[in-house]
Structure 1
Amino acid sequence: MMASPIGVGLIGAGNISDQYLANLTTFPDLRVLAVGDVLEERARSQAEKYGVPRSGSVEAVLGDPDITIVVNLTVPAVHVQVSEAILAAGKHVWTEKPIGIDRASSRRLLHYATAAGLRIGVAPDTLLGPGMQTAKRIIERGEIGRPLFAQTSFQWQGPELFHPNPAFLYAKGAGPLLDMGPYYVSALVHIFGPVAAVGALGLRGSPTRRVQVGDLAGQSFPVEVPSTLSVLMEFERGGHAQSLYSTDSALFRHGVVEITGTLGTLVIPDPNTFGGRITVTRPLTAMPVAPAPLVQEAIELPQEGALTGRGVGVLDMARSLRAGRPHVASAELGYHVLDTLLAIEEAAAAQAFVRVESTTGRLGSLPADFDPLAPTL
């Protein structure tokens, strides 16, 4: 006889809660029971929009006895504080990235969870989508040989182009590195393993930015962190990567992830998405004779698995809790990614290579037949 679905609550009813609620409320193995926010009217509105039965304060979500996992969708500066409160209430945590904004409090959070026998899952769960999971299987099958190096790029004008209150995205704990870096670093760690050392150069294109949409349009806010970083990464098990993170670029180029191995180059989907086109390019057998053009075929490879969206990491946590197995997007991975991103900030400030002190074990994968919409609990 199947057990009942696992109860889920959300804290934080801001912009990203739509993406979570749209998916979490469709997974049969989960039941979203409550939405909480310091602005209770905002929580009520989101609960009504997605058919969630209860809403109210943060304390109401924490005190709900039917909730097993709480999803922390607050701003980065309070991620640790809110996650600690969730653990203190005896509930498991899924937190938006990053896990925290400094090493000391984030390590304390991990120790707290371990001592309490509770789990922490850390976004991004895009790496659990069929795009990244298929790419990982392709590499593990040896289709591009031994991975040698990667190139990634994220560049555009910045989130003030669409976000009604973007100042926090340029504050400590954010910027293009800590806001978008978790997607790219998580993807690279899944492929190459833990990061050993990083080097970086950074700059601020402007000391202030201006809100462009919404009620605050026209207001200026400070840029507290580098808005462009050029990064080099070395991995413990060999290989390296070159990455660009910028919100100073007129050229819009998102989601570039190219993995070159001894037998070819794999182009994988944007790590901020759950799926997309996957291609492999093989080495040339001979150079064409001029004036014949040099043509390289990008061979498209099939994507395996069901495509959903944000919230699949919460589902993996729920299923793994019942099965007694580790979940993939773990606190250990989330901390290593944060440690790497902070080391990049330090490397940019010092204009030197910085060792990354933390590490991770072998990272798990989802099976090719993982179906978020199938009832299993």
Structure 2
Amino acid sequence: MTRLGIFGGGQLAQMLTQAAISLGVETVIFERSADSPAGRLTRAELVGAWEDAALLAAFAQQSDLITLENEFVDAALLAHLEVQGMPVFPSSATLALVQDKLLQKECLCAAGLRVPTFRRVDTPEAVQTAAQELGFPLLLKARRNGYDGYGNVTLRSPDDIAPAWERLTRGGSPLLVEAFVPFVRELAVMVVRGRDGDTRAYPVVETVQHHHICHIVRAPAAISADEAAEATALAVAAVEAVQGVGIFGVELFALADGHMLVNELAPRPHNSGHYTIEACVASQFENHLRAVLGWPLAPTALRTPAAVMVNLLGRRNGSVGRDALRAALTIPGAHIHLYGKREARVGRKMGHITVLGASLAEAEALALQAADLVDV
């Protein structure tokens, strides 16, 4: 039986493990802290710093190939494993390009893809210079380790620069700035690319954010066929530009003129693709496994006219009760996923709900109704 090592043990690794069980694949979880959602699903779990040489060697010894559930693994660790002969997907070269947002943007630009105007900034004075060129508002971003709005600050005046610089550089990451994009909606496309280069895209979806965290995903996005085709082509080209293998989440901005910009890539399963578990012929998790294992890719088509996913974001701080989802189970057609996180925090992703329907409005109404009944 194939043993797939996964860096990380959160909900993405949990759902990868669930898909792996159906395919007869064992998973080996390497997480920095104990009692992870994915770690509870496997007998093979290592806990400790990813940089620990002994643990890293044990991880490699127990795995036939390695993937990841987040982009916070240092690419040098993946390169070390590759030198030892371990297959790693996505590769260290791909991760090095994607996990640094400046390098990612430079790579996409070099491939001729449209992205927000950006500048490297090494000092607060460089931010001021960029603001004179690009104007306010302006987005200041950490080049590494940012997610769900962490690592980003919107600058609205020169007075915002100094405190934002102090806050974002505290984490040790260098920064970049991006021009503010007056988008009309945010879109996302899950793209899966196999080891042989075979590439397939899931439907274009619209994402709705709540305090910079994905809250609602509508599949398919209510856009024209031409807009969907452009978004899909951009997403596929972005993944090919970084020579990705596996599933990638590609976030895009839709502009008023009907064109798109690539916002960011995620080299892993993505929140905007969770709807695929129930709504598509094969989920993003199954197709990621197929891709990294070198197996044939599965179809990515929707099995329903419409699907809406709502994230279950923590509404309070405290432990999760045993009956947290009991009331929501009364809503017919609500597919509820709780991630098994012991503690809820305000804004923390605790799970998600997907509803299939004849229309987006019908599916969204039921999904929101069910989400309101989950006690997290």
TM-score by length of 1: 0.35
TM-score by length of 2: 0.35
Q: Which structure carries more relative contact order (alpha carbon 8 Å, separation 6+)? A: 1
Name the one with the larger strand percent: 2
